[in-house]
Amino acid sequence: MPTAHVALGSNLGPRQQHLDRAVFSMRHLPHTKLIAQSETYETEPVGPPGQDPYLNAAVALHTTLTPRDLLTHLRHVEQAAGRIRRQRWGPRTLDLDILLYDHLIIDEPHLTVPHPRMHQRDFVLRPLCDIAPDVTHPILKKTIRQLLTECPSP
């Protein structure tokens, strides 16, 4: 069964509650089993100034959903948490991103896998390294552990 790795983030409202509900929702996705969950990390925001700190985490899912179907389900989970897309990299109640889906490389208008900036973001790599340190990035050919070690962000 394919493995998908998903990043979770929240910096508006009851942040931990948003993450907990997202994990609960992902546990109940059709044809999907949550197999690992990282620690939760508080991180400084990237993007427009004046935002509150984020809580970030990652999960691993075994799923037979296609990457596009998984993305559709994740967008529904975000919407249930009150996510409104107003500003790129702006504050949000919940952000769910597919980081990796097995070793697939997808470049479509609304879906890019692996996530195009994951290797530059400590707040993505640190929780992902909790659950998938030896998984190899399909383009960069480095493990998540190596990418975290080389990551330029604090």
Please give the positions annotated as active site.
83, 92, 95, 97
Distance between CA atoms of residues 151 and 11, nearest Å:
22
Distance between CA atoms of residues 63 and 61, nearest Å:
6
Pair of tokens at residue 130: 């909790």
Q: Count CB-CB contacts under 10 A for residue 141.
A: 8
Assign residue 141 a region: left if phi > 0, alpha if psi is -120 to 50, beta otherwise?
A: left
Q: Select from 122, 117, 124 the least CA-distant residue to 149.
A: 122
Distance between CA atoms of residues 31 and 152, nearest Å:
37
Quickly list H helices, the chain: 15-27, 67-80, 122-131, 144-150
